[in-house]
């Protein structure tokens, strides 16, 4: 009779330990699923970001084919190089021009650089100056 009582107590204790083990396994499985879901969400977010950057480059390239502003900006940026070969007056004009530009407000210089970067689809230039980053 005492063996029956001891056997019953041990059986209950064994069941309790088994249930605790199952609960721990369920808890670990739940944490694992959450970690996997978070990793998958981060991968999806990064893929969307990459797709957006590719779309921006593609759109910039598409717009370049019908725009005259690229030619204008190329001539504008080439002018100082060309003028530098036109004797003292050309070099003086370039020097005076850059001196005047150095006194321009910072926002204007940044806006000009962003315009060039957007026009030529040079996202790396925009990234270098930290636009669009938080």
Whether 49 is covered by a domain: the verdict is: yes
How many domains, the chain?
Answer: 1
Residue 107 to residue 114: CA distance in whole angstroms: 10
Whether 89 is covered by a domain: the verdict is: no
Whether 29 is covered by a domain: the verdict is: yes
Tens of pLDDT, residue by residue over 42-97, are 999 998 888 887 887 777 677 766 767 778 888 888 899 998 898 899 999 999 99
Whether 60 is covered by a domain: the verdict is: yes
What's the predicted TM-score (pTM) here?
Answer: 0.41
**What residues make up the domain containing 25?**
1-66
Q: What is the three-state SS of 56-105? A: HHHHHHHHHCCCCHHHHHHHHHHHHHHHCCCHHHHHHHHHHHHHHHHCCC
Tens of pLDDT, residue by residue over 5-47, are 556 655 655 566 677 788 888 999 999 999 999 999 999 999 8
Which residues have a Cβ under 8 Å from the Cβ of 118 and sit 6 or more positions away?
A: 60, 126
Determine contact, residues 120/70, Cβ cutoff 8 Å. Answer: yes
Whether 129 is covered by a domain: the verdict is: no
Element of type H or E holding 53: helix 2-64
């Amino acid at each position: 009779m005492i063996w029956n009582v001891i056997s019953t107590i041990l059986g209950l204790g064994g069941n309790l330990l088994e249930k605790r083990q199952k609960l721990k396994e369920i808890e670990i499985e739940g944490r694992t699923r959450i970690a996997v879901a978070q990793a998958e969400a981060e991968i999806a977010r990064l893929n969307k970001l990459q797709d957006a950057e590719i779309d921006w480059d593609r759109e910039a390239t598409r717009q370049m084919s019908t725009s005259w502003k690229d030619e204008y900006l190329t001539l504008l940026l080439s002018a100082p190089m060309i003028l530098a070969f036109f004797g003292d007056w050309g070099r003086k004009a370039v020097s005076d021009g850059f001196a005047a530009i150095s006194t321009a407000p910072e926002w204007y210089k940044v806006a000009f650089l962003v315009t060039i970067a957007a026009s030529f689809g040079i996202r790396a230039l925009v990234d270098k100056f930290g636009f669009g980053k938080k």
